[in-house]
Structure formats: C-alpha cells, structure tokens
Structure 1
Amino acid sequence: MDNVGIVVDDLDAAVAFFTELGMELEGRSLIEGSWAEKVVGLGDMRSEVAMMRVPDGPGRLELVTYHSPKMVTPTPAVTPPNTLGLHRVMFAVDDLEDTLARLRRHGAEPVGEVSRFEDSYLLCYLRGPSGIILALAQQLN
C-alpha cells in the first residue's frame, strides 16, 4: 500500500493535527488539469494535497482539500463508527494519554473511552480533522 487518502475541509489544521501525532510533511502541492480530472472522475477539479509520512516507516496519508468542485458533506456530517465505508486509521503510540492530550489541543475528541484490551493494549477512538475517526493503540507489553 502506498497511502490512504482523506478529504479534509481545512488542510492547514489537518497538517498540524497529524504533525502533532508524529507524522512529517513530505510535500504539499496543487493538483489540477485534465489528467487529474480523468483519474478522480470530477470535471473542473482543483485540489490541494499534503502528503504526510510516518517517520522511519512506509506509511503515508494523503490529505486533500477540494477547491473545485465544492466538497460534499455526508449526511449526517458526523457519522458514527459503524457507518459503511472506510472505518478508521489506527496509529501506534508510546503514551496514549499524552498523545490524546496533545491532540485535544487540535480539536480531537474521544468517541468513547480509553479502554484496556487484556494486558496487551490501551486503545481509544477519537475524532480528528473534518470528523474523521482515528484510533490510538499503546502496546503494554
């Protein structure tokens, strides 16, 4: 897998959020033209992309905001965790409580509670930029 794409309404806020999570901005650029319109199937497409990289790893997130055509907001705007489609992206963290506290300063809110899975993990779901659901996992052993 090369990357996971996430459409966001505020690219700067999303970059700041994922930077706080420990990802690094690999690059940022405008995407437009007939080649891009053909790939995504949208006419008059103009977007901006920020590629975020996991340090020392192969994983990347492609954060995208659309300037044209206008972005579509799902109904309801904040969907529950059991909504069909991409469910969530999980990140391994060294200190879940510290990471959650830092992400709250960027607007993140837990979906449920921090929970312990046996003696193996501390886990939680949270809402990040544009209402996307992320999961954090801290390995205990």
Structure 2
Amino acid sequence: MAIQRMDNVGIVVEDMDAAIAFFVELGMELEGRAVVEGPVADQCTGLDGVRCDIAMVRTPDGHSRLELAKYRSPAVIGAGPRNRPHNVLGTHRVMFAVDDIEDTVARLRPHGAELVGEIARFEDSYLLCYLRGPAGIIVGLAEQLR
C-alpha cells in the first residue's frame, strides 16, 4: 500500500489572523477556517478537551496546503525558542518557490518576517533564503534563475 499524496503541513500559531495575513501575502489562498473539538479531535491528538481554531491555506496551484492551528484548550505547553538555528533536529522549515525573492522578502517584512541569513545565489540556478515567519518557523524561499 502506498501513500496517495502529502495532504498538508500543520503549524501551531499564537496569532491566527497574523499568520493568515503572512501566508496570504506570500501568495497562498485562504481555503477556509473552522473550529475543531470533540472526541475525534481528542483521540487523534492524544489530548483531552481539544478546542482549536484552524485555517487552511493553499498554494495557487492547489497542490500544497498548510493547516494553521491556534489551540484554545488545552493550554499550549511552553513555546520553544523562536531563534533556533537551522540545524536543530526535527521539522525546521517549509520551502516555497517564488518568482521574485527580493520582492517577496520586502512584502513579508511588514508581517514580521526577518531573514535568518541573507539571500544567497546557488550557481546559476537559484536565489535562496530562509526567513522567520509566524510562531518563529523558518520559511524557505527559492527563486529559479532562468
């Protein structure tokens, strides 16, 4: 038996509206918002009393989605450090292909984005960078050079 596709990547956020604004500015589309709670949510997460606001955003091509989640209950257990280096074990970034990396970084700065390093050129193929987005996650951007 094989997987069919990757459905989404989940990100827990503190400020749902700010996170949605960040990803919409990046170029994603808000697919919808909902509240998740009840026995199925408890069973799936292994938590008791789950009440969670979620928003689904998708890439313009419709192939990739992020599920943004803001937990109302149970209380979020301590946020990790926001400035973790890139080489920490575990999930550490989501990468997006963009058509103009410098414009994208400039548009995201008012939404709290900060470059982790700087925009780098990989041979004659790509411009690449990492920036911190909502809840301190690292978002990668890649512009293919033609």
TM range (shorter): over 0.9
Structure 1 runs of 4+ off > 2 angstroms?
72-78
Give the counterpart of 2:35 among 27, 30, 36: 30
Could you tell me which residue of structure 1 aligns to residue 113 of structure 2? 108
Could you tell me which residue of structure 2 aligns to residue 132 of structure 1? 137
Residues 82, 135 of structure 2: 8 Å contact kept: no
| CA RMSD across the alignment | 1.0
Q: Which sits farther off after the overlay, 78-87 or 89-98?
A: 78-87
How far is the alpha carbon of 1:81 from its aligned partner?
Answer: 1.1
Amino acid at match of 1:83: V
Could you tell me which residue of structure 2 aligns to residue 7 of structure 1? 12
| Cα 1:127/1:98, change in 2 over 3 Å | same
The answer as to 2:49 corresponding to 1:54 is no
Q: How many residues align?
A: 141
After TM superposition, the structure 1 = structure 2 runs for residues 45-124 of structure 1, keeping only pairs within 5 Å, are 45-124=50-129
How far is the alpha carbon of 1:52 from its aligned partner?
Answer: 0.2
Residues 131, 139 of structure 2: 8 Å contact kept: yes
What's the % identity of the aligned pairs?
A: 65
Q: Deviations over 1:83-133 (max 9, x none)?
A: 111020000000000000000010000000100000000000000011000
Residue 105 of structure 1 aligns to a residue whose secondary structure is: helix
How far is the alpha carbon of 1:26 from its aligned partner?
Answer: 0.3
| Distance in 2 separating the partners of 1:128 and 1:38 | 30
How far is the alpha carbon of 1:57 from its aligned partner?
Answer: 2.9
Return 5+ residue gaps in structure 1 as ranges: none
TM-score normalised to structure 1 length? 0.96
How far is the alpha carbon of 1:75 from its aligned partner?
Answer: 3.8
The answer as to 2:70 corresponding to 1:41 is no
